[in-house]
Amino acid sequence: MALAIVSSILWNTLRLFDGFRAQEELKMEILADAYFQFNKATPDDDISLLVKIIENNKTIPMIVTDEKGKILLDQNIEYKKSAKKKVLAKKLKEMKSLHAPIEINVSDNNNQYIYYSNSEILDKLRYYPLALILIFLIFLWVLFAVFNASNNADKNKLWNGMAKETAHQIGTPLSSLLGWIEILKSENINPTYVDEIQKDVDRLGVIANRFSKIGSEPTKVASNVSLLIQETIDYFQSRSSKNIVFSYQASASLGSFHINPELFSWVLENLIKNAIDAMQGRGKIHIELRDNPLEMQILITDTGKGIPKNLHKTIFAPGYTTKERGWGLGLSLSKRIIEQYHKGKIFVKQSQKDIGTTFQINFPKKQIL
């Protein structure tokens, strides 16, 4: 499950960076048009707006040349006066390899060309996806080590130790990513992109915190279960195919519930992700919260391919998976979280081939505050 989330975040990040690049290309087109209008202006024309657009470019390095390649103007390039010619020549060569020039027709026989490169902030942020890949590799390393360990009494200790080490290792690149987000906020960048990156980095922080809790007794706090369910649905709904329809029904009017919210959300994510996989990206997922006299019940129903009855218990065994690239940890961890940590129950309530499956989670009422 964690691997799937990290992969999704990495894909989203690369898509956002494409948006950054497109935004800079649009800025350059506007700048080129302003430069063109500026050169065409007469003494009587109001050029204040054009000057403002040109001067407002404080991030994107730019060089303007004539048809013979002579440099006429440069912007946002640092150099010493003594090394100006050498630095600009090198920078111009680099720009030619990055982007096609923007041609400006100054007059009938006079064309000029604007060359540009990525802004400094965009160049530095190329390390952001690498940090996410590092986190992805850490997860692979941890899981590989766990499943290659000998099957003895120390296997549990190994799993717990590796999980905590994973949480520790993830903390370092996460701190760096948070720093980059603060830099992005100070730049003239579409805030929607920054908000999406912030959400995904926060999600990575949650994943790291979950791994740190494995092997120790988690802290339980008063939590609104209905709100946690809705937040988990919202997260998946914004990152899933539009062909998947989510619905939620809360028939329970419960107060606060004594649980660990992060581990409980992890269970919900595992079940929803499995449902999405079972439906192959198309279908319906319905979640229902029920209030019974002795227990609270949560039902997660999908319209996927179903689970054979003889596997209803086997699917919770560590290492069991039907996925080609699965590790068989999701449902095993979910069972441990619900039954060992929260003294509840999780099981397959019903399942039919090509119709769907319903998982049910029961929590005893004594945990309601």
* 105-112 contact pairs (CB < 8 A, 24+): 105/36, 106/36, 106/39, 106/40, 110/66, 110/67, 111/66, 111/67, 112/39, 112/64, 112/65, 112/66, 112/67, 112/72
Q: Tell me how long the chain is.
A: 369
Three-state DSSP at 351 gives: strand
Q: Which of 189-198, 238-247, 260-269 is least confident? A: 189-198
Lookup result for tokens 């649980």: 259
More confident residue, 108 or 298: 298
More confident residue, 24 or 168: 24
CATH 3.30.565.10 placement within the chain = 221-367
How high is the pLDDT of residue 223?
A: 87
Assess whether pLDDT exceeds 70 at residue 167.
Answer: no
- Measured between alpha carbons, how far is 358 from 346 in angstroms, rounded to an integer? 11
Look up the CATH number of domain 221-367: 3.30.565.10
337-351 pLDDT tens trace: 898 888 899 999 999
76-107 pLDDT tens trace: 888 888 888 888 888 888 888 877 887 877 67
Q: Are 64 and 114 in contact (CB under 8 A)?
A: yes
**Residue type at 82?**
S
